[in-house]
Structures are given as structure tokens and as C-alpha cells.
A and B are shown apart, each in its own frame.
Chain A
Amino acid sequence: DVKVTQSSRYLVKRTGEKVFLECVQDMDHENMFWYRQDPGLGLRLIYFSYDVKMKEKGDIPEGYSVSREKKERFSLILESASTNQTSMYLCASTKVGRGAGQPQHFGDGTRLSIL
């Protein structure tokens, strides 16, 4: 079974701090994703990466950056945390398979609170 592991289930940080959210997958997947989930808004894509050192902006990249130095690890960075970034953050991965509709596999999420 694919395992996507997010380093923290709960995290509390202060406004202005630099925050790192880590995600590791163990199935050699090429694609990795970061979403944020807010009540009534569903999942919104922040960034995704289709290869090491490659990244693409999603729908709401403002205030975030990402890093993918190794294939299995995809980090989300809040450069200067703000209270409106309080949310649930979900990491996902999928194997490249054009025409095969590969489903995304999700971690358990990190609930981040910015005070």
C-alpha cells in the first residue's frame, strides 16, 4: 500500500514565523501535491511537483513556496506565516500514467494554526 506521511498532525506557530510542512511518500511516485482544505471551500491546490526540483503553481500559491530536492519528499513553506493561513494542509502523490487516470494518495493532513 502507498504510504504518504506528513510530519506533523497538529502544528501551532506564530505570525511572521517561517513554517515548514514536510511530506514523504514511499512508492516512488513522480507527482506530489499540496492542498489546503477549508470548510465550505473543499480542497484547493497550492503547488504540485512532477519531478525533482520541478514545481508548478496551483490555484492559490500566494504566500507559499515548495521544495523538492528528493523524489520522495515534498516540502511546503510558509515564508512569513499569517493568520489567514490557518488551515488543514493535505499532501498527496500519484504515479505518472497518462491515460490511466492514476488516483492521488493522501496523507492524514496537518492542522496548522497561526496565532
Chain B
Amino acid sequence: AQSVTQPDIHITVSEGASLELRCNYSYGATPYLFWYVQSPGQGLQLLLKYFSGDTLVQGIKGFEAEFKRSQSSFNLRKPSVHWSDAAEYFCAVDTNQAGTALIFGKGTTLSVSS
């Protein structure tokens, strides 16, 4: 069955340090991949998405993610974290390319220390 794994439940990073959030998926073909962010008390906001082509995709707020087919991974990165990046991050996979079968990981909570 298709699944999305975010191995890290909670990560703490110092402000200004780099960040990498891991995401692995299980799916037979290349899916459409997404990263969403959820600030406290808010809904989910799309950070970036991957469909095909260049495996390094740029998103909003200075985030980027790299698709690695050989590792079935889609890790999210940011070179320098800001305190406002503290939030919960969700990786998601669209397995039918019609937006009706989005599978979410369980999320990674990011804390930023000063």
C-alpha cells in the first residue's frame, strides 16, 4: 500500500542554522509530491510541489526540496532557519494525479531555538 513516512517527529534547530526534514514514500510509480506547513491554529499551506523534470524544486519562504527516485525520498531543506519557521511540516503524495488520493505523512514539528 502507498504510504508516506516522516521519520522525525520533532526537530529543534538553532535560528540561522540549516534545516533538513526527511520524507520517504512507498509507491510503485513516480507520484506527485508536496510539502505543506501548518502554523499553530492554522490550516495547511502549500510550500512546494514536484511533478516531473528538475529534481530540485524551489518553494515559498526560502524552502527547497529534492526528489531522489533511487531513495524514494523528497526531503525539505532551508539554508538558514528563522524563528517564524517554527511549525508542523507535512509531506504528502498524490498517487492518482487527480488530487483525490493525497496521502499525508504524520508530520514533523519544528522548533527553533534562539
Contact = CB atoms under 8 A, between A and B. Distances in A.
A100 B94 CA distance: 11
Contact of B90 (A43, A98, A100, A101): A43
A106 interface: yes
B43 A40 contact: no
Given A31-B99, A98-B98, A99-B97, A40 B45 contact: no
Contacts, number: 63
B99 A4 contact: no
Interface residues on A, range: 20 to 34
Contact of B106 (A40, A100, A103, A104): A40
Interface string B62-94: 000000000000000000000000000010001
Contact of B43 (A41, A50, A108): A108
For chain B, give the interface size range.
Answer: 20 to 34
B8 to A, nearest CB: 13
Contacts of B99: 31, 94-97, 101-104
Nearest to A96: B98
Nearest to B33: A101
A43 B51 CA distance: 22
Nearest to B51: A101
7 contacts: A33-B102, A50-B100, A90-B43, A100-B51, A106-B44, A106-B45, A108-B41
